[in-house]
Each structure stands twice: as C-alpha cells, then as structure tokens.
Amino acid sequence: MRTGLSGKADWKLPRKLLVAFATAAAFQISLCSYSGTAATAEEAEKPAHPQQEPPHAGEEEPSAGAHEGETTLMTARAAGKAAAGVVIGLQDLLEIKVFQLDQLNQTLRVADDGSITLSLLGRIMVAGLTCEQAERRIAGLLEARYINDPQVSVFVREYESRKVAVTGAVQRPGAYEMLGEKTVLEMIALAGGVTRDAAKQVFVIRRQPGDAPRSIALKLDELIYTGDPAVNIPLQPGDIVYLPAEALFKVYVNGAVGKPGALEVKESEQITVLQAVTAAAGTTERAAERRVQVIRRGKDGKKQIIPVDLKRVKQGSAEDILLVKDDVVFVPEAFF
C-alpha cells in the first residue's frame, strides 16, 4: 500500500486483475506464447505459504516472496551474466523474467532504435544500459504502475551487438562475440589463424556513429612474429578484421629431383631455380646439374629454353635466375 498526496491509501492493482491483464496484453501484442492449459487467475493468486493476515492501518504491506525473490535474482545474476558491465546493444537477444509473474517473462531482441516492447509497459529504451540498469528501469516502471517491489532479472542470451567479423585469408571466417577486451591477434586466433595465401597486411575496418568507415592497416609479420603491442591493437564491437588473400602463381620442377611437382608462390615473393629445386627435395644422385633447363612460354605463346648450370649456381659462380609464372624447371639425368 502507498499513501498518495491526498492522504488516502493508494493500493496497487490486485494480483488477480494484474495476471489477467498481463495475459491478455501478451496475447494481443504476440510477444509471449503459451502451451498447454493456462492456470486460472484463482490458482495463480494462491501463495506458496499460508496467507498472512492483511496489514493493519499504518503498516506497510509485505511484498510476496520478497526473500525468495532476492535469492532467485542473485542466483540468476551469478549464473547468467558472462560479462559484468557490458552494455546492451542493438539486436541483442534479451531474456527478461519477473519473479512469480511468469506472464511477464519474455525473450525478445532489441530493436534497431534501441528499444524493447514489454507486456503492460510497452516500449522501453534499453540500449546503452547494463543488465543491472535495465533491471532497475523495468522494475521501476512495474512498481510505479502494477507491482510492489518487483524482482526483475535481465540476461543477454546473444550479444549480437558485440560481434567482430574476421574474414579473408583465415581458416574459419565468421562473426565472433567479443566479451571483454580482445586484440587483433586474439580474434585471428579464434578464427583458426591465417591461411597460406594471406597477404602481408591486415586491415581493421572500423565504423563510428555518424562517420564514414575508416581502415587501419597493420603489417602481418609484425603482428604474428614480433608481437609488437603497438600493432596488436584492441578491437571494438562492430569492427571487421580483413586479411586479404594474395594471388598465387605456380612453377613446376620435374626430372631428377626428390619430389617433382608444382610449387605455389605468392606474387609478392620471388623464387629462383635453386630455391625451386631445393623445395622439390633437391636433386637425385643421377641428376645432370650442369644441364638443367628452364622452359618458359612468352606472351606470344612461343617456348623458350634457358640453360642453367646448377652446379656453378651452387658454387656462386653463375647467376641464379628468377622464375616467373608457369616456368618449368627440368633436371635431366646423367648418362654413364
């Protein structure tokens, strides 16, 4: 019971009427669905413990199940909140419960304007609030209109607003939740690390409200191999980590080598005849290293044969020529 300005008793709505009103409102706005046979208002009104005598004049009306409500709420908070202090954002999926009023329990997603629509209360702005702040706001509105000392819990089931997208040359591209602070390197690790064709740069694309997206370029080698903290910058929700994939070209090694076949090379890198032969597990005992050939086709399609004395290349007395796309290194066998 409350006392208004006129000095008269200002009672909250009876629980029977509140339950019926909440059920009707939930059905009307299609936010809550029920299965099975709904409990009657008479059954819902029955307390879990024997009913106490009504309060005498001047006494405060005890809230039903206040102690039980506090215990349940503390348990839900301890188990449900993975990141204390994290604010609710757009498109987050919220689970809202009111103790001993199942008709008001809802699971719903935050709209793009930052609001949710609750039974009885209508549209409420929650974006930018922590779960505790949202609980206090909802509880305050319920108490002002319907319920004495409501026990409200708000739990974020999906942090859609706190996701970072990792895309490009990674093993498992996708969107990952970011609860707490995460760096570029941590998010790349969550995505399984980089692939063979990753380029030499990483781009963090960041959107700020009211501003055009900006791109932050980072050097991949410094990020992965040196662990420079100045490069391993912290991320923000909504960031996109993009690792461009670099084009690859192939060269082929055939003949008297340990592992003949194709070699993939990044366009930004170079490979020589000796490097290609070494990558093919080197020459065999019967290899004629002085008669190696590079078979190359020009832009006009004509074949060109370039002789290479691999033995002199190894000795440092001959040039180790660079290979280009689709070159074939042929190592013939010696005749005895």
- DSSP-derived letter for residue 322 is B
Fold for the domain defined by 248-331: Outer membrane lipoprotein wza fold like (3.10.560)
Lowest-pLDDT range of 41-50, 102-111, 235-244, 318-327: 41-50
**Residue 54 pLDDT > 80, yes or no?**
no
The residue whose two tokens read 């939740």 is 177
* Band of residue 20 on the pLDDT scale cut at 50, 70, 90: low
pLDDT tens, residue by residue, 184-214: 999 999 999 999 899 989 999 998 777 788 9
Domain residue ranges in the chain: 2-50+84-158, 162-243, 248-331
**Residue 303 pLDDT > 50, yes or no?**
yes
**Residue 318 pLDDT > 50, yes or no?**
yes
pLDDT tens, residue by residue, 125-180: 988 888 899 898 988 888 888 888 889 999 888 888 888 999 999 999 999 988 77
Average pLDDT, the chain: 78
* Band of residue 38 on the pLDDT scale cut at 50, 70, 90: very low
How far apart, in whole angstroms, are the C-alpha atoms of residue 38 and residue 32? 13
What's the confidence (pLDDT) of residue 24?
Answer: 53
* DSSP calls for 246-309: PPEEEEEEEESBSS-EEEEEETTS--BHHHHHHHTT-B-TTB-GGGEEEEEE-TTS-EEEEEE-
CATH architecture entry for 2-50+84-158: 2-Layer Sandwich (3.30)
How far apart, in whole angstroms, are the C-alpha atoms of residue 134 and residue 127? 9
What's the confidence (pLDDT) of residue 336?
Answer: 60
Closest residue by Cα to residue 1 from 59, 48, 44: 59
pLDDT tens, residue by residue, 3-12: 334 333 333 5
pLDDT tens, residue by residue, 66-88: 444 444 444 344 434 445 567 88
Q: State the amino acid at position 16 in one-letter form.
A: K
How far apart, in whole angstroms, are the C-alpha atoms of residue 182 and residue 59? 53
**Residue 35 pLDDT > 80, yes or no?**
no
Domains 162-243 and 248-331 share a fold: yes
Measuring CA to CA, how many Å separate 188 from each of 57, 135, 184, 316? 66, 35, 6, 42
- CATH for 162-243? 3.10.560.10
What's the confidence (pLDDT) of residue 56?
Answer: 45
Q: Which residues contact 19 (CB under 8 A, 6 or more apart)?
A: 41, 44, 45, 101, 103
pLDDT tens, residue by residue, 245-258: 999 999 999 999 99
Q: Please provide residue 296's backbone torsions phi and psi, each rounded to the nearest 5 degrees.
A: -130, 140
How many other β-carbons are positioned within 10 Å of the β-carbon of residue 142? 23
What's the confidence (pLDDT) of residue 288?
Answer: 94
**Residue 331 pLDDT > 90, yes or no?**
yes
Whether this model's pTM surpasses 0.85? no
